[in-house]
Amino acid sequence: MPRLRAATASFRHQASMFLAEPQWLIPNIIAPFVLAMVVLMLYREPSPEAVLYAVLGGGMMGMWGNTLYASGYSIQSDRWWGTVDAIFSAPSPLIWIIGGRTVWNAFIGIVNGLFVLVAAMLIFRTPLEVANFPMFLLAFVLTLLSLAALGMLFSAAFVLTRSAQVLTNGLEFPIYVGTGSMFPIFLLPYWTHPLSLSLAPTWGIDAIRYSALAGYAQGFRIGYWGDMLAMAALSLLYLVISIWLFKAVDRRARRTADLMRY
């Protein structure tokens, strides 16, 4: 089980790194919160459903910041610390190390999301009655895992291409919109739909809405379980691509030396 151990240790390590300076979370809390407010202000007299939609969406947006940054820059941060040699020369495969960290990051993303959600609920005085709690929880956990899988994909892709790093800064907003956190996807132009649909959390967010909002009608027609299935399938696909990308990272690191220059 040395691989699992590397993953759990990396999870714990990421946690202690995070808890040493939790203030990094503040921008991740503020930005989605402000966005949720802006969306609400676009409605002149928001219906309770619209408020709920926006509040839930704010929570979803809160999840993204950490996944994008903390996971995307996971290997990158070891380059900053100068620990990348120690990580690359460890007798544990890199993907398990990054995998463990990514799960923590997704977890923090979710905590972040809940925080925004609760804050928005208090401010807009919208009691959120979760329609089906077990299904809500299941969707939540699976969304967490799908975020982790996506984070893993990002972390490998960011190391392999420099341009991906430049993209990150501009990626946050399109993802808020693309996953349907801010507006229902059907309001977006058609050409963006394939992009939205290829993001596993889009389906997760829809599933969460199905389980949380009684009488939710704007969702995908495949319903809660369809959402869950689509999310699981996409997450698995991410995992497969990640395994392949991490092999490329390892090869590239040892062949050229540009991943480890310090």
Partner 1 sequence: MTSIHFRALTGKVITSNGIPSTGERGMDDREIVIDVRGLVRKYHSTTGVLHQKRRETVAVDHIDLQVRRGELFGLLGPNGAGKTTTIKVLTTLLLPTEGSVQVLGYDAVKQPMEVRKRIGLILGGERGLYYRITARQNLRYFADIYGVPIAIRDKRIEEVLARVDLLDKADVRVEDYSRGMKQRLHIAKGIVHDPELVFMDEPTIGLDPEAARDTRAMTKELVGEGKTILLTTHYMYEADELCDRVGVIARGRILALDTPSGLKALVKDTSVIEVEGFGLTEMDVESLRALEGVRTVAANMGEDKQTMRVQVEDPGGMLPRVAHILEDRKVIGMKVKEPTLEDAYLWLVREDA
Ligand X SMILES: Nc1ncnc2c1ncn2[C@@H]1O[C@H](COP(=O)(O)OP(=O)(O)OP(=O)(O)O)[C@@H](O)[C@H]1O
Q: Which stretch binds partner 1 (CB under 8 A): 83-91, 111-119, 128-136, 210-218?
A: 83-91
Q: Which does 132 bind (CB under 5 to 8 A by kind): ligand X, partner 1, none?
A: none
Q: Which does 261 bind (CB under 5 to 8 A by kind): ligand X, partner 1, none?
A: ligand X
Q: Which does 138 bind (CB under 5 to 8 A by kind): partner 1, ligand X, none?
A: none
Between 12 and 30, CB nearer to partner 1: 12
Between 21 and 258, CB nearer to ligand X: 258
Among 82, 122, 123, 184, indicate the residue that binds partner 1 (CB under 8 A): 82
Query: Binding string, 242-261, against ligand X, x = CB under 6 A?
Result: ---------------x---x
Sites for partner 1 among residues 33-72 (CB under 8 A): none
**Would you give the DSSP letter of residue 69?**
I
Residues 6 or more apart from 79 whose CB is under 8 A from it?
259, 260, 262
Give, in order, the Cα–Cα distances in Å from 255 to each of 74, 79, 244: 21, 17, 17
Q: How far is the CB of 166 from partner 1 (least distance, A)?
A: 15
Binding-site residue total for ligand X (CB under 6 A)? Answer: 2
Q: How far is the CB of 247 from partner 1 (least distance, A)?
A: 13
How many Å apart are CA 187 and CA 184, to the nearest integer?
6
Q: Token match 């990002």: residue?
A: 154
Between 15 and 232, CB nearer to partner 1: 15
| Tokens read off for 55 | 């509040």
- Residue 260, number of CB atoms within 10 A of its CB: 16
Three-class SS of residue 58? Answer: helix
Q: How far is the CB of 256 from ligand X (least distance, A)?
A: 8
How many Å apart are CA 238 and CA 222, to the nearest integer?
21
Provide the angle, in degrees to the nearest 10, between the axes of the packed helices 133-160 and 223-255: 20
Vertex 99 angle, CA 71 and 259, to 5°: 65
The site for partner 1 (CB under 8 A) is made up of 2, 5-6, 8-10, 12-13, 16-17, 20-21, 81-83, 85-92, 97, 253-257, 260, 262
